[in-house]
Amino acid sequence: MAVNTTSIAARLAETLIADVDADASNGEENVFSGTTLADKIYQVQLDNTRNGAAAYLKIQFATSFNANNAPNLQFYVPAGGNVYYTFPEGLPFTTGISFVGSVTQAATGAQTDPTKDLKIKILGGT
């Protein structure tokens, strides 16, 4: 039997950001700082299974999150839900990534923390 050898393409994602308690009170600032293996987002997972209310992940392409500025990305997860958002070609960013987890639908202004843990995973790569 002949053996075939093929090249495997570069990894899709090279950096994983995990926040097991995403909230609005303690936003995550510039989460890919210090890594050279992430200038695109390939997947975002939101685990809201412990909450009885819908939640939102609000991402700004910035080194710090400012509630007065609208997010560049806002992802929804229903009450008790677990969702994945996938970007097969990668969603590029240049400045940085900062985010909050919130139950407030409005894009700007005061944000409210989820009652229980909102878990976030972001896969980044080059």
Would you state the pLDDT for residue 10? Answer: 59
Going by their DSSP bridges, the two strands 98-102 and 55-60 should be labelled as: antiparallel
**Residue 69, pLDDT score:** 96
Where does the chain have alpha helices with state H? none
Under 8 Å CB-to-CB from 122, ≥6 apart: which residues?
16, 17, 31, 41, 43, 44, 45, 97
The string of pLDDT tens digits covering residues 49-64 is 999 999 999 999 999 9
> Residue 31 and residue 97: Cα distance in Å, rounded?
6
How confident is the model over 17-55, as pLDDT tens digits? 999 999 999 889 999 888 888 899 999 999 999 999 999
DSSP strand pairing (82-92 vs 73-77):
unpaired
> Which tops the pLDDT comparison, 22 or 5?
22
* Nearest one of 114, 4, 111, 22 to 31, comparing CA atoms: 22
Residue with tokens 């995403």: 22
pTM: 0.87
Whole-angstrom distance, CA of residue 61 vs CA of residue 108: 15
108 SS3 class:
coil
- Per residue in 60-92, pLDDT tens? 999 999 999 999 999 999 999 999 999 988 999
61 contacts: CB under 8 Å, gap ≥ 6: 72, 93, 94, 95, 96, 97
